[in-house]
Chain A
Amino acid sequence: MIYTRNFVPCCLILGFTLCAPFAAKPAAILVNNTCEGTCSPGALSNGNSTSGGFNFDYTFSDGDVYDVSGSYSASYSNVTGSTIVVDPTFTYVGAAPSVGNDTLEFDLYQFYSDANCCTWAGTYSETVPLALSSATGPGSTISGQLLFDGQSVGLAGPFGPGNYLVSESADLDFGPKDSSPFLLADFAFTAQFDTGTTPGAGASGAPTPEPAMDLTCGLGLILFVCIARRRNRPRIAA
């Protein structure tokens, strides 16, 4: 049947579309200047995109342990420009209240590559949602900013407990680096957890921390449709 004939190729196309970004070279994630996974960020050229997830623990010398998790994506087009998205969540996972002041510096690095002439200078923008739990120790803060070749679009925070949304834009000029084939983006967050942070308390680069469920939901939906189609096939053929 035409429907069945079209359905399978559609599923294959959708599957490859979903999986293609995961085959691209990922961004680099550093916490307190320590690589977590890939140390050298990939370079996205025209038409390229990448995405991925992260979930690991970071232990301070005082013994306090934090879980760092989230997802990211980035893309580059020589028409529409560069994009970068990340939603890091930092959660104190110790069994008892934290014993020291702990500063988590999170950096997501991504290169963009364009060998064309001219300049990277222009107007850059960012939207930075921030959240900090009230169960963090007194004096705790969260901040975030997007930098291109070391120049900040704008610092959001530092803020105390609560939910915040900051949007900034800035005209950036990179001087001698304007004509470089590469531009380096750095989405940077600093979470300062002071002594007395209770287990489960956290900070986030998103207002309502959500697990990375998009891919799971998508694959679950596709599986559901495939099973439903297989079970209904005799009825349709009849």
Chain B
Amino acid sequence: MNPEKQNPDTENVKADDRTDRREALLKAGKFAAYAAPFTLLALTNKAEAASGHGPAKH
């Protein structure tokens, strides 16, 4: 017997969690939209600097 399926309160909690999760995802999306230009600026600046690369010891 699954106690979660027998308990309507648990079902309500799960529904609330889903609503909260949806809210969180929406907010995260807005955060990403705000952050994108700054990330692009940072990447652009890095590309302008002098840089070098070498192999790992092998």
Are A and B co-members of a single complex? yes
Residues of A within 8 A of B (CB): 1-3, 6-7, 71, 76-88, 112, 114, 116, 118-120, 122-129, 144, 146, 148, 153, 183, 185, 187, 189, 205-208, 210, 213-214, 217-218, 221, 224-225, 236
Q: Can you add 6 more A-B contacts, CB < 8 Å, to A88-B50, A128-B50, A206-B49?
A: A77-B56, A87-B45, A122-B55, A206-B48, A217-B41, A225-B34
Interface residues on B, range: 20 to 34
Q: Closest residue to B20 on the A side, CB-wise?
A: A2
Chain B residue, CB-CB nearest to A221: B38
Which residues from chain B sit less than 8 Å from chain A, CB to CB?
17, 20-21, 23-24, 27, 31, 34-35, 38, 41-42, 45-46, 48-58
Contact (Cβ within 8 A) A85 B50: yes
Report Cα–Cα, A125/B54, bound state, in Å: 7
Knowing A114-B57, A217-B38, A217-B41 touch, does A83 contact B52 (C-beta < 8 A)? yes
Partner of A118, one of B38, B48, B49, B57: B57
**Complex Cα distance A128/B46, Å?**
12
**Which B residues touch A83, using CB under 8 A?**
51-53
Distance of A124 Cα from B56 Cα, bound (Å):
10
Tell whether, in the assembled complex, residue B54 and residue A81 are in contact, meaning their CB atoms are under 8 Å apart.
yes
Tell which of A144, A148, A218 touches B50, judged by Cβ atoms closer than 8 Å. Answer: A144
Task: Decide: A210 near B45, CB < 8 A? Known: A80-B56, A82-B56, A118-B58.
Answer: yes
B56 touches A84 (CB 8 A): no
Are B58 and A127 in touch, CB under 8 angstroms?
A: no
Are A124's CB and B20's CB within 8 A? no
Q: In the complex, are the beta carbons of A146 and B52 less than 8 A apart?
A: yes
Give me the 9 closest cross-chain CB pairs, A-B, nearest first.
Answer: A122-B55, A3-B24, A87-B49, A2-B20, A114-B57, A146-B52, A126-B52, A82-B54, A81-B56
